[in-house]
Structure 1
């Protein structure tokens, strides 16, 4: 969640950063809080299409495999309340706007020489799976979430470089300029992506009655590199499950 240019992410937990889908709504989303360290907090909101069923899952820093492992709260104020033992487990679903909110808490620190985006290469993450009403143009909750004035706001302009370079400067950069001469890379040939192994089927989405299970695979065996082609689909499978009747 760190950016090199443009608006910066506020990591004190006082603001929400919301995610909306324009067009076809994906049935699986994964949010990763890159760059967060101990003491940092970020609240996110994800738009859930009206009429769709949904489930949350997180594997780090806490293993929360089904929505039943989370703690449902009734307001953003309760979500923001600092409660050791509950932080990172709570979520809030706003029926009026169809937004589900979750708060990331930084769990590790990076050392001075760490080249990972999070300490030890592990970042807080949350997954949202969706099923049902996922047709186009119903995953954008901004009209119910923001006022007309907020929707009309223009994003700030990013800084523009005015530095110029001579077209006939020769094969070597000027003395004391940059990091030295540039040479063609020989190790950046395109690598096409391949899917990894399927995960195990998830637990049933309900504790009684009819529900669903899912499993997924990631494009990481290997990931596409240097302009290589994407992995094939599907990345997500779903099936029905049935438990004992609810009483």
Structure 2
């Protein structure tokens, strides 16, 4: 089974379209989004509409939740500043964002064991908590134990990695950060998403039986930065895309 997972689009429509084009060519059996559809760019409605049109199961990211209790006036749509990105979101899409879950859990039964997959935006404990490659191993394992997670998929930091740890029971535990489709921070300007491949023989005792592929996708960076520069958003948001840090 092939599962596509992505996160942190941040209203970057050119990057999102390029990612979807590549994703469709991979013909995954399922697709999941780990949140942060909005913020930092000017196409939140187009991104949300496509997510909804495709019926992609999606989590709430910390930026998605910023539309809660947001009051938009004609003036707020002309004033410069970071909040402009959230005021762009249409009311019916705001309502959608505020109904998204915090976690998605999947259970797969292989020939010899169960594989529990848990998805969260930041961590299983908080949408705002970073689960980084160098986060203390004990902390991550405790968190995964609480969530009954064998494979934990997260976003939020915009820095992709696949970390394998050994639990007290002597089995491998996998933490995968999906990176970011629309706002990479790992020095690579291309969007990033993950293809997970598992089969009936996949096991926590066999690392080769669980395949995690990071796919990088180039997109029209000029169009993405132009959207920012021609809007009331801070110009620094465009520079971040160029530098990818």
TM-score, with length taken from structure 2: 0.22
The answer to which structure, 1 or 2, has the higher relative contact order (CA under 8 A, 6+ apart) is 2
Higher helix residue share: 2
For the pair shown, the structure with the greater C-alpha radius of gyration is 1
